[in-house]
A = this chain, B = another copy of it.
């Protein structure tokens, strides 16, 4: 119908000043109960919704947070987003999400867009090969930023990660206890910290157990890449009887490849995944994996961001959420030959 109502319209309708109306809307200041009612009534009648950007501009407060992640479609990531969203929502913040598709340049543009559209803070997992300049961009604009999952060497930012090394070490020990002697690491592509941490845990466990040289096999994150990789490994390393994987998708792919060859996960090759996505439990056979709660990670993420916003000079926080082993059916003692 009519034009979009502004505070002035509401004030006029209620017969008060804009200043008063503003105070009522925010529940601030000292205004009598009578006028409060009048204003609220007028606002309702006109279907008034305040203009957030004008408010934000004047007050300096900013209740919009941006998030940029390498892959929205990944269910693990989606759960993190849910967790963060929920907490933000309950605090009156709005989280808006962008998919960087692991492209450092696209991500830089996204971060710039966040700055232009004045987000109050940014949560992000740095794309592979993120240059130092991207981090500088954030610091020169004094934008509260928290990274998660992947930590960069350049980052001088709050961070929430996973106890990666500890987890893969645990997985490796588990496989060794079952009797496996030739254990490989599968998944991921180089240059992100998550992966090097996981490889580190795997490698050091191997060393500690005296189990010979590590075998690290690169592959993209995803079912299909996992399948191809498994086929290759069977061909080139027929002595490998167990796999520690960089993610559940790869692990499931590996299992599928085994089945396609007429073999069985847990028989010819034992497989441990990482993340415990929903599919891990549903796979046939169900996947043994290192579980972390992405939802909780998301909530924690949001909490750290809120603290950082409230206390910009707080020292940098780096924290790690634990992973626990979930035993299912893809890890068994090796076959006797």
Contacts and interface: CB of A to CB of B under 8 A. Distances in A.
A34 interface: no
Interface string A83-97: 001000100001111
Interface string A256-281: 10011000000000000000001100
Contact of A223 (B50, B141, B279): B279
Interface stretch (A114-122, A155-163, A204-212): A114-122
Contact of A49 (B52, B97, B115): B115
Contacts of A47: 137, 140-141
Contacts of A223: 278-279, 282
A319 interface: no
A221 to B, nearest CB: 12
Contact of A53 (B53, B72, B89, B260): B53
A282 B71 CA distance: 19
B94 A282 contact: no
Nearest to A97: B97
Interface residues of A, number: 56
Nearest to A114: B94
Interface of A: 1, 4, 47, 49-54, 56-57, 63-64, 66, 71-75, 77-79, 81-82, 85, 89, 94-99, 101, 109, 112-113, 115-118, 137, 140-142, 222-224, 227, 253, 256, 259-260, 278-279, 282, 284
B73 A99 contact: no
Contacts of A52: 116-118
B284 A259 contact: yes
A256 B286 CA distance: 12
A118 B53 CA distance: 7
Given A78-B73, A141-B49, A142-B4, A98 B99 contact: no
Contacts of A253: 282
9 contacts: A47-B137, A49-B116, A73-B75, A73-B79, A82-B101, A96-B96, A97-B98, A223-B279, A256-B282
Given A94-B113, A97-B99, 19 more contacts: A4-B141, A49-B115, A49-B116, A50-B116, A52-B116, A53-B118, A63-B117, A64-B117, A72-B97, A73-B73, A73-B74, A73-B77, A82-B99, A85-B98, A96-B96, A96-B97, A97-B98, A222-B278, A253-B282
